[in-house]
Amino acid sequence: MRVDSLRTASGPTISWRVIECWGAGISLLFQAGALLPLILADADGALSESARSILRLPCLPIYVFTAVILIRNFPQFLTALRRNLLVPLILALPFLSTLWSIGPSTTLRRAIGLLFCVLLSYVLAIRFTPRQLLFLVFVTLGTCIVLSVVLSMVSPALATMPDGDGAMRGVFIHKNVLGWYAALMILVATAVLIDGTFGLRRTAFILLAAGIICLASSGSMTAIIATSVAFCLIGFYTLLQRSSSIGRVVIVLFFIQLSVGILISLHEFLVPALEALGKDATLTGRVPLWELVDREIADRWMLGYGYQAFWTTANPEALHMWLKIGWAAPHAHNGFRDILLSFGIVGMIPFAVMLPHAIRQGAMLHCHDAQYGWLWLNVLTIMILVMNLTESIFFVQNDAIFILFTTAIIMFSLYAPVVSVSHAPSWQASRVAL
């Protein structure tokens, strides 16, 4: 007989569902990197090695929580693994890359951290519905955004960047991180307003306003662009759901052509346009960085340098690159390039195969199973893809954004076969069941 509650010494019982909800919310809050890194950072906003060691300590109870929940729900965990074999395959790549990594110990340590982050994604995917996860993220991100606004009023010096540009960073260590989570807060608050089943319209409007304030004050162009894309995607998915089967094909083809056209235009005309407007045509140093990164990728295009082994002081190529560009880039500022640096084309191929499959599954679920609230997860997935054009979020260990991205992909593959069978003809559904 399965025990679904815990009894304390004084008598009251605590249900496992309460433990799951609180544990998942606190885990996401810590993985968002709010407040604690800000407290441990030095005057320049950098983290020392001792500070990084301290930051690893809160991850241990999160790992324990993740392991306990997965053990209790092991059959569902196996089902989630079987329904999308690309996720465990890609998860194995960081460990396999220790065989050719230029820093095997660094790769192995960070691969273990990534493993538990993805396992937390499995917990979120199998123990929460899309609407339940929306509420969980709404509360978690809302806490971070409200604290950021409060800190900016109570201690403006602490809540702004130390470099003197006046940009707001809130309870995060950098303004860009605040921008990312503010963008996600705007999406989540908008999704709560659209959903209408939570009875939290006033709270959603307040958090939406707080998210907009944080987004504008951070000055993160990546987050601003991602937010604009999110609202375009909300319109796209809403129109997609309300259209007929033929209409959906036309809408998807038009959207793909429009997206390709925009990407080509940005590639050809963005830098000249910025120069004409007197703006930074290097995208804050990203363009010269990408040129150097592309050369390093070409040198090890098959297998890469090993998971997160390139951007370390032990790598002479990274040191040489930092000297050339004049600043110590922590990553390639492009998630797709960092995948190639870590795993080469061997890692990019399964990742590139997984993405369109997940996007198609998510769109199908939104169109045929809308009562579960799939809209925000579909928008979130593509929104994070857009963020990775100028930032590196893919395969980052102990990062709430990548955890949510992976959760969405796992959740799509977990629910899609069930929904596809329920909408298939009766003879086909019976054959699938057999």
Map out the domains of the chain as residue ranges: 13-433
Cβ atoms of residues 325 and 365 within 8 Å: no
User: Is the pLDDT assigned to residue 122 strictly greater than 80?
Assistant: yes
- For helices 400-422 and 175-195, the axis angle rounded to 10 degrees is 30
User: Is the pLDDT assigned to residue 427 strictly greater than 50?
Assistant: no
- For residue 6, what are the β-bridge partners? 14
The larger pLDDT score, comparing residue 69 to residue 2, is at 69
Q: What is the rounded CA–CA span in Å between residue 370 and residue 305?
A: 43
**Nearest alpha-carbon partner for 188 in 140, 259, 253:** 140
Phi then psi dihedrals of residue 394, to 5 deg: -60, 140
Please report where in the chains the tokens 């690893």 appear, as a residue: 56
Residue-wise pLDDT tens digits, 315-373: 999 999 999 998 889 999 999 999 999 999 999 999 999 999 999 999 999 998 877 88
Helical H segments across 128-174, by residue range? 130-154, 156-159
- Would you call 14 helix, strand, or coil by DSSP? strand
Q: What is the rounded CA–CA span in Å between residue 117 and residue 307?
A: 15
pLDDT above 90 coverage of the chain, percent: 69
Q: What is the pTM of this model?
A: 0.92
Mean pLDDT, the chain, integer: 88
- For helices 375-387 and 175-195, the axis angle rounded to 10 degrees is 160
Q: What is the rounded CA–CA span in Å between residue 89 and residue 82?
A: 11
Q: What is the rounded CA–CA span in Å between residue 287 and residue 408?
A: 31
Q: Is 45 left (phi over 0), alpha (psi -120 to 50) or beta?
A: left
In terms of DSSP bridges, do strands 13-15 and 5-7 run parallel, antiparallel, or are they unpaired?
antiparallel
Dihedral sign (CA 122, 126, 129, 132): negative
pLDDT score recorded for residue 262: 74
- Residue 357: CB atoms within 10 Å: 15
